Structure 1
Amino acid sequence: MKTTTKELCIQGLLVALVTISTMVFQIPVSATQGYIHLGDSMILLISVFFGAKYGMVAGGVGSAMADLLSGYGHWAPFTFIIKGIMGYLIGKIASFSEKNQKLFTPRNMTGSVLGILWMVFGYFVGGGILKSSFAVAAVSIPENLIQGFAGFVIFIVVGIAFHKAKIYKFVLTR
């Protein structure tokens, strides 16, 4: 499948959006040695509005770049995989299209929740590997749930604004 210049430009902008939204507002979390951020809400929006391919690349590359640029380089390979799969999973389940222009459908909400739960599980596994202890990594589960569901709330608020503005007419690429 050939990628058009327009698709490549959109993908680059979406990667930058995830990177910047992850970096611009960070709350350090001592239990996870990570941080709470706005990037997950962007992954949710991108994956629902643009689909699996865009969600996977923006989530994986954008989040890993944020880790590298924020001093969390040791997490970048895990983040690349975890957030890439998160975006892909959400985008595959989501049902937003030109025909179905409803943001809050059961499929979109289910995909978003499953994507967040995958992220929490992925960081639990990644933390277990990095810390050589899954018991120690389990401490991160509540903070990662808070991060994911805070992103979900922001996704809903921004999604309502985007939907009312009919932004999908300008960006829909499915």
Structure 2
Amino acid sequence: MKMTTKEMCIQGLLVALVTVSTMIFQIPVSATQGYIHLGDSMILLISVFFGAKYGMVAGGVGSGLADLLSGYAHWAPFTFIIKGIMGYLIGKIASFSEKDERFFTSRNMLGAVIGIVWMVFGYFIGGGILKSSFAVAAVSIPENLVQGFAGFAIFLVVGLAFHRAKIYKFVLSR
């Protein structure tokens, strides 16, 4: 599948958006040896407004880069896969389109929740592999849920603002 120059530029900007939003505000969490950040909210928004392909690349590459640049290189391969699949799942389930210009649909909300649940499960598996103990990795589940649903709350607020500003007219004209 061939991408136009415009599509490559949009994809690059979305990757940068996820990377920067993940790195700009980090709260370290000792139980996960990771951090809480704003990047998940961007993955949710990108996946709903731009679809699975953009969500997958922005989520995987952007989050993986943030891990590499933030000193969490040991998590980067896991993050690349986990966040890439997260963006893909959300984009495939979400229903935002030119015909249905509504942000608050059951499919968009379901996609977001499934994406977050996948992220928590993925980091549980990744943590179990890295720590050689799934019992130890289970300790990270509550913090990952907090991270995911904090991102969901930001997603709702920003998504509402985008919807009221009719930002979808600009996004869908890409």
TM interval, short-chain normalised: over 0.9
Q: CA deviation at 1:172?
A: 1.8
Which aligned segments of 4 or more residues in structure 1 are displaced greater than 2 angstroms? none
- Counterpart in 1 of 2:70? 70
Q: Under a length normalisation based on structure 1, what TM-score does the superposition of the two structures give?
A: 0.99
- Counterpart in 2 of 1:18? 18
In structure 2, distance between residues paired with 1:173 and 1:151: 26
In structure 2, distance between residues paired with 1:61 and 1:118: 17
SS of 1:99's partner is coil
Matched, 1:145 2:169: no
- Counterpart in 2 of 1:157? 157
SS of 2:46's partner is helix
In structure 2, distance between residues paired with 1:63 and 1:132: 23
Give unmatched runs, 5+ long, in structure 2: none
Q: 1:173 to 1:59 in 2, by over 3 A?
A: farther
SS of 1:28's partner is strand
- Counterpart in 2 of 1:104? 104
In structure 2, distance between residues paired with 1:173 and 1:129: 43
Contact 1:50 1:173 (8 Å CA) reproduced: no
Equivalent residue letter for 1:69: L
- Counterpart in 2 of 1:32? 32
Q: CA deviation at 1:168?
A: 1.1
In the TM superposition, what are the counterparts of 1:79-94 in structure 2 within 5 Å?
A: 79-94=79-94
- Counterpart in 1 of 2:128? 128
Equivalent residue letter for 1:171: V
Equivalent residue letter for 1:81: I
SS of 2:2's partner is coil
Give unmatched runs, 5+ long, in structure 1: none
- Counterpart in 1 of 2:55? 55
SS of 2:35's partner is strand
Q: CA deviation at 1:23?
A: 0.2
Q: CA deviation at 1:146?
A: 0.3
| 1:38-91 CA distance string (max 9 Å, x none) | 000000000000000000000000000000000000000000000000000000
Q: CA RMSD in A?
A: 0.9
Q: CA deviation at 1:127?
A: 0.1
Q: Under a length normalisation based on structure 2, what TM-score does the superposition of the two structures give?
A: 0.99
SS of 1:35's partner is strand
Question: How many residue pairs were aligned?
Answer: 174
Q: CA deviation at 1:173?
A: 6.1
- Counterpart in 2 of 1:5? 5
Q: CA deviation at 1:35?
A: 0.2
